[in-house]
A and B are shown apart, each in its own frame.
Chain A
Amino acid sequence: MSFNPDARQLGLIKIAVFITCLLPFGRLLWAAYSDDFGPNPVEFVQRWTGSWTFNLLLITLCVTPLRTITQWHWLLRLRRMLGLFCFFYASLHFLSFIGFDHAFVLEDIAKDIYKRPFVSAGFAAFILLIPLAATSSNWAIRKLGGRKWQELHRSIYLTGILATIHYFWLVKATALLWPLAYSVVLAVLLGWRIRERRRKAIPVPRFQSAKPLKFFKQKPD
């Protein structure tokens, strides 16, 4: 059954999604207010913001498959907000890294990015998110043109792969369950897209062994 909300309903849905996306940030504020960061405050902040960056990245990638399966085309109207919240938590995650781990000392940050593969992967993923967030407006779509804009925003797939690598390299051998779970979800979402592209592609027939058609009988010598 197709559900098509009117403008007012869609507005309410957007508000609900906005508030829901703010809840993880609210949890951080609550921890700050109630002094409830746990024994390792920085680890809590970094894990929390990192997890929610990845959660929102996967939720954003779920929009297209859900829209195709349910025919709820209005879901597309939520994708921008979800993507921007993903960038918001990624920014908090990155800020907590450069602030708490390196006290904003640029030389130390650069060294860490260069020396530590898991930091390099995470940093690359964050860098790839910046142009996506910067071009998330209608104005940017018009300026770039739909096709170019779409090509640029496909880099979200690479961001997802880099985020998975970042997570895998970050944890000890005893804690691979979560990165594995995230990578399975990502693989399913990317796999679905590959399948869809193949399905939509119109095959061009090739007749390599075909002989030219003879419309006229050959003239006698």
Chain B
Amino acid sequence: MLIRRPAALPASEITDSAIYASRRDFIRTLLLGAGTAGFGLSYGADAGDRTGQSLGSLINSPFSLHDDKPTPFKSMTSYGNFYEFGPDKESPAKHAHRLRTRPWAVTVDGEVKAAKTFAIEDILNWAPLEERIYRMRCVEGWSAVVPWVGFPFSELLKRVEVTGNAKFVEFWSLADPEQMPYIRLPLLDWPYREALRLDEARHPLSIIAVGMYGEVMPKQNGAPLRLVIPWKYGFKGAKSIVRIRFVEKQPETTWIKSSPDEYGFYSNVNPDVPHKRWSQSHERRLGEFLKRKTLPFNGYAEQVAGLYAGMDLRKNF
């Protein structure tokens, strides 16, 4: 299959730099115009200052976006979903410091000739690390542009012998109540599980990320390693992975078990298929005030649409 690098964003999609720079002045003027003095209560942003360990020189991937400004590091590390650390967007940044990322091992089992366990130190040496600037779209309607650091998932397939029965690959996140306080609450069916069709996992855009913004993956973003599938909604990217299982039948994932009518197995970014309770036609980039149009497959249609040829994407949402 011919893989082309992602098309540059059309000029119409790029916010004019003058407008972008003045977006906050707009709301500032709007609110201050009301003429009432400010009463300050600090907005908690515990995380965000870059103190991470650098991952050194990285390969610039041809799959990276080049015409879209990455979301500020502080925004990506102080806002996000990681329910093992709490239900609010700010919770992971507050509680993820409890996570111990060393020692760490990933078990690969299921439909493989021999189950194996890999230490994180070995995984980090599997392939040269690449920086991939990808769009990220959350099912809730917000989005970001993130410079992930990682390697293609296919690198794992070179190290395990998958049997002919394997059709799907399942990812299990860590579920340790000692480190993850909210595991004790039945917010979801723990451990968090996500899955892909094997051909989706093999796709060159699918990566195992071990860092972001040139640094080691912050704990609140899924350290020490997580899945990144840029054409799917963010929840498909399992964080803090401890087990990868190859299976024959489509597995039941955490969100499908929680709300089967709201979350589908494929969860491809699709502006034409609304979530049960909100539209997916538009999204809001972190830090921006106005919405922008959501692109089919999050802008990666040229690369991945072929995986779903002949499929009804409304039915297989």
Please list the residues of chain A having a beta carbon within 8 angstroms of any beta carbon in chain B: 22-23, 25-44, 100-101, 103, 112, 115-118, 169-170, 172-175, 177
Q: Size band of the B side of the interface?
A: 35 or more
B interface, by DSSP: helix, strand, loop or mixed? Answer: loop
Determine the distance from Cα of A101 to Cα of B282 in the docked complex, in whole angstroms: 9
Q: Does the CB pair A32–B83 fall under 8 Å?
A: no
User: In this assembly, does B12 line the interface, its C-beta being within 8 Å of a C-beta of chain A?
Assistant: no
B38 and A29 contacting across the interface, CB-CB below 8 Å: yes
Inter-chain CA distance A107–B315, complex, in Å, is 28
Q: A36, B43: Cβ atoms under 8 Å?
A: yes
- Which residues of B pack against A, CB within 8 Å? 24, 27-28, 30-32, 34, 36-43, 45, 72, 74-76, 78-79, 83, 87-89, 140, 142, 187-188, 258-259, 274, 277-279, 284, 286-291
**Cα separation A169 to B259 with both chains bound (whole Å):** 13
Q: Please name the residue on chain A nearest to B88 by beta carbon.
A: A175
A14–B4 Cα distance when bound, in Å, is: 67
* Contact between A30 and B259, CB atoms less than 8 A apart: no
CB neighbours of B28 from chain A (8 A): 32-33, 35
| Contact present for B43 and A39 (CB under 8 Å) | no
**Cα(A163)–Cα(B275), bound, Å:** 21
Looking at the complex, which one of A29, A100, A174, A177 makes contact with B36 (CB distance below 8 Å)? Answer: A29
18 contacts between A and B (CB under 8 A): A26-B36, A27-B38, A27-B40, A29-B39, A30-B38, A32-B31, A33-B32, A33-B38, A34-B38, A34-B40, A37-B24, A37-B27, A40-B79, A41-B289, A43-B89, A44-B43, A101-B291, A103-B290
- Measured in the bound complex, the distance between the Cα atoms of B188 and A33 in whole Å is 39
Contact of A27 with B39 in the complex, beta carbons under 8 Å: yes
Asked if residues B289 and A31 are in contact (CB atoms below 8 Å), the reply is no
Bound CA–CA A37/B89 (angstroms): 14
A27 pairs with B41, CB closer than 8 A:
yes
